[in-house]
Amino acid sequence: MSTSNATAAKATAKKAGAPPARNPSRAAATKPAPSFERKPAKKSTKDGNGQSKPKKKSIPGEVPRRPTHKLRHRALSNRIKSKLLGDAHDPTRAQAKDVVAAAMCGLGEGTNCTSWRAASLVDSPVVDKRTFEKWWRGTVGRVWTPKLEACDRLVKGSSLWLNNSFLGEPVQRHMDALDVRCDDRVPKKLDGKRGEAWLAERMDLTDKCLQAADLCWSVFSHRAVPSKQALTLMAQVTPRGTIPAPRLTYAPPTVRADHAAWLDQDDFNPYMFEADTVARRMHNASSKFGLLRFLLRLGTAAEGSEPWWHVGWVFDLASVAAMAQFFSIFGPAGSPESNVGEDADLIFAINRVFFDHEDGTITPFVTDLPKFAKRLDLPPLQFVKSLMAARSEYYSTLEALGISFEDVYPFANPVEVLGAKSIGQNMIWDGLPPAGWQS
């Protein structure tokens, strides 16, 4: 093509809106390869120190997602399902179709499905089969406050499985304790902004759990008349939510002889005689984990059959021990001994009792349990039997909520001893304890 013809072709193409003709060989030589095409840079997710930036705060009305969210959803869903299905409830299955049918029929109406409790079902997870299955399996992406309010309308207190658990039953409070102790998202640098925020959040949750548990169990330790709030919390540990009359098990003979007269006195707390004198002395609210010794003494020294508060005692004992182990590693003082005093070995032993292998193997610590019993002024054999019974009660209660040992162990498998930052460590030590462990 001549120069004049090429110029005319370009002018014609320009008028038609088409791109001008190009030399194929030149175009191939100048066009960049697709695999190396530069894309706009993404916004950095790390701060100036190379640490990942904190996630954005939850939107108002959105319930925070916890590490134990699957356990929480399973327990909440099974509590609702148990009430709707009664004897037909199976904690190991979602039974979503039956749940929706029972919800539509209403409670206690048998086959009469003419009454649909619309006000109770609005926003609840039981109005749709697929939705309930997601809740039961813990695969829900986001949960909003109206959803939890709907759960509370179905079963009172259901929302506490997912929000403000520390104010709930000891079993619900235990979910917070597991989140404190078993969160594996440990920042590489605890002295950075992200590390400080991570640690502060868990220390704050620890304080809330301890305060709630202390106020609950202080009814058994203080001579002052129990406050209405303390009795309300104490009612959480009973199967029916009401506190039975005091048994006066450890009351002096004069009180037992005329207990009716003592119970009428306004300045007298009869529930303190649920605990023996030694246990009442051990309760020390000024010590961060002083509740641990008190609970161990209270539960182990109980006479006769299991007391009405036994399940609550099991889970608050497990919670206090779990949070104490976290504090012994990440507490501000820097070493287990200075953080939790002489009870560092006791704390790790109680954690092993609850969270060791499925067969209950705690061999490395069994020989030390009598030493701990003497520290608490308890018969060694009774101490060991009480702890083994507590472990059995712990898992049987969780199984009734659809939570198995296999579900708990990935969360309960602890952060390594003496400050390591991973959860992959097995709780059973091979042979001797790790170097540096103070037994």
Question: Percent of the chain having pLDDT more than 70?
Answer: 67
Which of 98-107, 110-119, 131-140, 364-373 reaches the highest mean pLDDT?
131-140
The reply to whether 22 falls in a domain is no
The answer to whether residues 250 and 398 belong to one domain is yes
Per-residue DSSP letters for 201-221?
A: HHHHHHHHHHHHHHHHHGGGT
The reply to whether 19 falls in a domain is no
The reply to whether 230 falls in a domain is yes
The answer to whether residues 188 and 263 belong to one domain is yes
The reply to whether 79 falls in a domain is yes
The answer to whether residues 221 and 368 belong to one domain is yes
Q: Say yes or no to pLDDT of 71 above 90.
A: yes
The answer to whether residues 152 and 255 belong to one domain is no
The answer to whether residues 288 and 365 belong to one domain is yes
The answer to whether residues 154 and 292 belong to one domain is no
**What's the rounded Cα separation, in Å, for the pair 325 and 419?**
11
The answer to whether residues 283 and 314 belong to one domain is yes
Count of domains for the chain: 2
Which of 3-12, 353-362, 389-398 reaches the highest mean pLDDT?
389-398
Q: Say yes or no to pLDDT of 24 above 80.
A: no
The reply to whether 366 falls in a domain is yes
**What's the rounded Cα separation, in Å, for the pair 343 and 119?**
52
The answer to whether residues 187 and 158 belong to one domain is no
The answer to whether residues 217 and 104 belong to one domain is no
68 three-state secondary structure: coil
Q: Say yes or no to pLDDT of 102 above 80.
A: yes
The answer to whether residues 141 and 271 belong to one domain is no
The reply to whether 40 falls in a domain is no
435 three-state secondary structure: coil
Mean per-residue pLDDT for 234-245?
80
Mean per-residue pLDDT for 119-140?
90
Find the domain containing 99 and state its range.
Answer: 69-163
Mean per-residue pLDDT for 285-313?
83
Q: What integer pLDDT is reported at residue 192 of this predicted model? A: 81
The answer to whether residues 319 and 284 belong to one domain is yes
**What's the rounded Cα separation, in Å, for the pair 390 and 233?**
21
Q: What integer pLDDT is reported at residue 266 of this predicted model? A: 67
In the listed set 129, 163, 197, which residue is the last one of a domain according to the structure? 163
Mean per-residue pLDDT for 71-90?
95
pTM higher than 0.85 for the full model? no
**Quick one: DSSP state of residue 45?**
S
Q: Say yes or no to pLDDT of 315 above 90.
A: yes
Which of 57-71, 192-206, 216-230, 290-304 reaches the highest mean pLDDT?
192-206
Q: What separation in angstroms does the CA of 257 have from each of 60, 249, 385, 421?
A: 57, 12, 32, 57
In the listed set 108, 138, 163, which residue is the last one of a domain according to the structure? 163
Q: What separation in angstroms does the CA of 278 have from each of 262, 302, 343?
A: 22, 12, 17
Residue matched to tokens 């170097």 = 435
**What's the rounded Cα separation, in Å, for the pair 299 and 194?**
40
The reply to whether 24 falls in a domain is no
The answer to whether residues 126 and 247 belong to one domain is no
Alpha helices in 356-414 (DSSP H): 363-366, 369-375, 380-400, 405-412
The reply to whether 151 falls in a domain is yes
